[in-house]
Amino acid sequence: MERVAPDRIVAGTPRSGLGQPGTVVLLAELQPPTSIKTALERLSPSQGRVVGRPPRIVFTLRKPPRELVERYRTDCGMRPLSFPGLCVASLAAPPRGFVLDEYGCVLGSGEASFRAAEAALDRFAMYPSPWAWVQAGTGCFGEGSVYVAVIRAYGLYALLPGRVLERLDETEPVRRYGFTFATVAGHVEHGVERFEIVCSPETGEVRFVATAVSRPGALVRWVSPLARRLQRKFHRESPQVMRAASAGQDGNRSTSSPAGSV
């Protein structure tokens, strides 16, 4: 049986198709070497469920079924962050080699705009569908919670886990609402990002503000220009969909916790 070395991508078609006939799963094995057969069996459903331990990084060629994403999200719950020392303070003092990005937009003004923006953030409307969405499970979504962003790019779907580091719900000195997350082992990037809604105490202006520090992980470092292009696309489109969602024109439907649980 062929062995799969760490950092090598292998492909195969599970007999059960992961709930979708013909689904091809790409496994980026960053764990101890294993056989292709064993790696694929980790994602093969048995009696309607996914069994075994998923690989550390997962890509699929077709839209992944909810069951696979949820199984992977649960598996990522006990994993460490993808880069040692990542924390909220990383946003103010990025580690060496990390890039700082800041983006956002004005959403409106006043109490109604702030509440609408809160609700949009709760349902992860900042992820621009149909090529990006989130699965966060059910129940309370607080510090320590893990969610998986599913990103479609360059012919693949990537499952990207993140862990919430802090929740924001402040009224003084500036009204702020949101959360900060860090990438979990299994994400193709290393980084920390904060999504927040901020209301100016002077003017009542409501803004969506995102701040991120990141650098590509080992798997995508050799194609970092493509990864960076995808980041810029997200930075461009995220404010647009947040503005639409806050205005009640929400065509973005992330698979997430119920609104209000964030």
- Is the pTM higher than 0.85? The answer reads no
Peptide bond into 130 cis (omega under 30): yes
CA distance 61 to 251: 24
What integer pLDDT is reported at residue 56 of this predicted model? 77
**pLDDT tens track of the chain, all 262 residues?**
333 333 333 333 333 333 444 344 555 444 433 443 444 445 444 333 344 454 578 899 999 999 999 999 999 998 999 999 999 999 999 999 999 999 999 999 999 999 999 999 999 999 999 999 999 876 667 899 999 999 999 999 999 999 999 999 999 999 999 999 999 999 999 999 999 999 999 999 999 999 999 999 988 888 899 999 999 999 999 999 999 999 987 654 455 443 333 2
Amino acid at 201: P
Which of 121, 23, 137, 122 shows the shortest CA–CA distance to 69? 137
State the greatest distance between any 2 C-alpha atoms of the chain, in Å, as a whole number.
Answer: 67
Q: Is the dihedral of CA 153, 231, 126, 147 positive or negative?
A: positive
Torsion of CA 223, 208, 184, 50, to 10 degrees: -90
Q: Let me know: does 183 contact 160? Beta carbons within 8 Å.
A: yes
Q: Count of alpha carbons within 13 Å of 178, Cβ hemisphere only?
A: 21
Q: Let me know: does 192 contact 98? Beta carbons within 8 Å.
A: no
What integer pLDDT is reported at residue 152 of this predicted model? 96
SS3 167: strand
What integer pLDDT is reported at residue 188 of this predicted model? 94
What integer pLDDT is reported at residue 158 of this predicted model? 95
Q: Let me know: does 185 contact 218? Beta carbons within 8 Å.
A: no
What integer pLDDT is reported at residue 127 of this predicted model? 97
Which of 37, 185, 178 shows the shortest CA–CA distance to 121? 178
What domains are defined for the chain? 3-62 (no CATH), 88-130+162-246 (3.30.2030)
The total number of residues shown for the chain amounts to 262
